[in-house]
Structure 1
Amino acid sequence: MAQITLTDDRGHTHQFTQAPRRIVTLLPSLTETVCALDACDRLVGVDRYSNYPDSVNKLPKLGGLDDTQIETLVALRPDVVLLAPSSRVQDRLTALGLKVVVLETRSHADVKRLLLKVGQLLAVPDPLKVWQRIDAQVDAAAASLPPSSKGLTLYYEVDSAPYAAGESSFIGETLTRLGARNIVPASLGPFPKLNPEFVVRADPQVIMVAQRNAVNLAARPGWNNVRALRDKRVCVFPPEESEVMGRPGPRIGESAQWMARCLREVAAKPGSRNNNSSNTPAP
């Protein structure tokens, strides 16, 4: 096999005499990327938050961004460690002689780029077909929407601080492809912390929120007058869905389908209570 040369997102160039057979991933989206490329069997360890597909739950869990279990990781003798720029252990692992490939996903384009890059690293045939499947899922989700759902103004909350998913985030890109109008412009950044009054002034027609953040939305100052709350157009995603929706990886096609389901329901039942157990209105 020809030598593999790969430049990571720090600009570091790595050379491999053969495709890695023992892989550690320290980010759920990277774990899912490896598995989407049919290379789950090469994983020997993952971060504590990696939980999909189910087979990875049997692997050693090596901690998170701030508390990676370095000794345990080294003992696994990985051929490569895949991690995010935010991981604090990259320099330490490199100093210990491990090959550390730093990869970052912030957008749909990054998801496609990483599939191709990791596919190259793993010598996987035709990694582009994985992206084509994801892209087709997003297109199908958009095609499933009625004209009445197009152009609805929308607020997507990622944390009750509140932090929002703006137009420039991967979540925002999905919403744009579904025809929604994000109240948080790209100029504010991908996941800005907002003054709660910003949402009141923007008065979105639809709110999407994770179940853990949905308690007492209407009790926030001024929010009882927000159209989405007044008209019961609030989609509350259960943990198993909101977790996936927060990962910029191979399951953004599934996320698009859940978002489309929400938009179909609020468009079909304006002003009515949403009876779908997966998308029930906030209290």
Structure 2
Amino acid sequence: MLSAHPFCLALLLSSSALATTNPLTVTDDLGHRVTLQHAPKRIVATLPSPTKTLFAIGAGAQLVGIDTYSTFPKADTEKLLKVGSGFQPNIEAILALKPDLVLTDESSSSRLTEKLMAAGLTVYSGTAQTYSEVFQKISTLGLLTNHEAGATRLLTRMRTELNTLGASVQGAPKVSVYYEVDPTPYTAGPNSFIGALLSKAGGRNVIPTGLGDFPKISPELIVQQNPRVMIGLTADDAGKRPGWAGLSAVKSGWVFRPSAEEDDALSRPRPRLPVALRALIRFLHPEAKLEWKWDGDRSARRDPRSAQSGHDQPAGSQRRASEAGRQQGLLLVNTALSPRSTLLANSVPAVFQGGWSPLSIEKCCGWRPAPGFANKFDF
């Protein structure tokens, strides 16, 4: 008779308790009831976030196709067939893969979901738009793919790391901060996922809650608020705006442009939230002791008041700043396209008026708007 160590037995019981029971029915962000008769073995992801999440929870082997912009983890994504992007999909390629589950964005602008459903495919549409939804979507993907145990491990690790980072600034005075999403300027309100991270990092967002999650603001508001720290732009850019040269953050040099890696984590609500929080803590409270570092975060620990502030940046920093701008555009467009967004009518024109061509938006965000899109808003 075989015997099991109590720890191993508990682990087995825990894993079996977290196993998905099929048939399974869930409701996606478009209100569709999605039913899976069995755990999917052939998944197509049409945007990067679910691709990264599936690999993180151990479900990467079930992917047979991914979007053009899914590039992480590189060694694995390079082997998978690319099926276009969420807004310029290769539907024929998706159908040829015979997927038993397709993961799409909740935006209806490309009509991708309805086209795939009309072809008889099972489609789940939904992405995280808020801080809490990051955790919800990881759980949902674990449920859909029969990797609930992997999702639970990831969530536990994320929460542990987020709590550890948060503890490093516990009791520290709140630092007034302005976070710039786009130089129009658009910013992040307190209830946005960036706003939630700013609060956890020991910051006090100077943007009033009533303005919304990602509002376009008047530059005079920042003059009135006079934040101690600015994030998302350079000191040189800030100093050129009317009335900003005399602001506390600009005069003291506490204006920070995140690196491309940091901005990628800050711009997309997904499993790399700890990377985003760590960056914000370094900007707001450089005195905090940050011993933890996310796996794969190869950036050296540094004083945030260095070249990242925008003064005399070397060529590499300029390239990172350019990439950061593209990532900020991604956040802006993704926010605009979310059916839950209040930004739609204002943010999309800002992308075009800011010099974004359809091709540059496609490279940044994974989709290319149709002619006249900026004026029609035909979703």
TM-score (norm 2): 0.67
The counterpart of 1:186, out of the listed 198, 202, 209, is 209
Matched with 2:157 is 133
Distance (whole Å) between structure 1 residues aligned to residue 246 and residue 97 of structure 2? 55
Kindly report which structure 2 residues correspond to 1:258-277, keeping only aligned pairs within 5 A, or say none: 258-265=279-286, 276=304
- Whether 1:28 aligns to 2:48 is yes
- Whether the aligned pair in 1 keeps the contact of 2:49 and 2:270 (CA below 8 Å) is yes
Distance (whole Å) between structure 1 residues aligned to residue 215 and residue 265 of structure 2? 20
Matched with 1:282 is 310
Matched with 1:3 is 23
- Whether 1:53 aligns to 2:76 is no
TM-aligned CA deviation for residue 74 of structure 1? 2.0
- Whether the aligned pair in 2 keeps the contact of 1:237 and 1:278 (CA below 8 Å) is no
Distance (whole Å) between structure 2 residues aligned to residue 279 and residue 22 of structure 1? 46
Amino acid at match of 1:155: Y
Kindly report which structure 2 residues correspond to 1:207-226, keeping only aligned pairs within 5 A, or say none: 207-209=230-232, 216-226=237-247
TM-aligned CA deviation for residue 165 of structure 1? 1.5
- Whether the aligned pair in 2 keeps the contact of 1:236 and 1:278 (CA below 8 Å) is no
- Whether the aligned pair in 1 keeps the contact of 2:22 and 2:36 (CA below 8 Å) is no
Distance (whole Å) between structure 1 residues aligned to residue 248 and residue 209 of structure 2? 23
Distance (whole Å) between structure 2 residues aligned to residue 189 and residue 61 of structure 1? 36
Amino acid at match of 2:263: S
Kindly report which structure 2 residues correspond to 1:117-266, keeping only aligned pairs within 5 A, or say none: 117-126=140-149, 127-145=151-169, 147-148=171-172, 150-209=173-232, 216-265=237-286
Amino acid at match of 1:61: K
- Whether 1:44 aligns to 2:64 is yes
TM-aligned CA deviation for residue 153 of structure 1? 0.7
Amino acid at match of 2:167: A
Q: Deviations over 1:219-257 (max 9, x none)?
A: 122221221111111121111220121111111112111
Percentage of identical aligned residues: 35
- Whether the aligned pair in 1 keeps the contact of 2:235 and 2:253 (CA below 8 Å) is no
Unaligned segments of structure 1, at least 5 residues: 269-273
- Whether the aligned pair in 1 keeps the contact of 2:22 and 2:39 (CA below 8 Å) is no
Taking structure 1 as reference, are residues 261 and 8 closer, same or farther at Cα in structure 2, changes over 3 Å only?
same
- Whether the aligned pair in 1 keeps the contact of 2:102 and 2:123 (CA below 8 Å) is yes
Matched with 1:17 is 37
3-state secondary structure, aligned to 2:309: coil
- Whether the aligned pair in 2 keeps the contact of 1:138 and 1:174 (CA below 8 Å) is no
The counterpart of 1:76, out of the listed 86, 97, 101, is 97
Which structure has the bigger radius of gyration? 2
Alignment length (residue pairs): 275
Unaligned segments of structure 2, at least 5 residues: 1-20, 290-301, 312-379
3-state secondary structure, aligned to 2:81: coil
- Whether the aligned pair in 1 keeps the contact of 2:40 and 2:101 (CA below 8 Å) is yes
TM-aligned CA deviation for residue 40 of structure 1? 1.3
TM-aligned CA deviation for residue 279 of structure 1? 6.2
TM-aligned CA deviation for residue 206 of structure 1? 0.7
TM-score (norm 1): 0.88
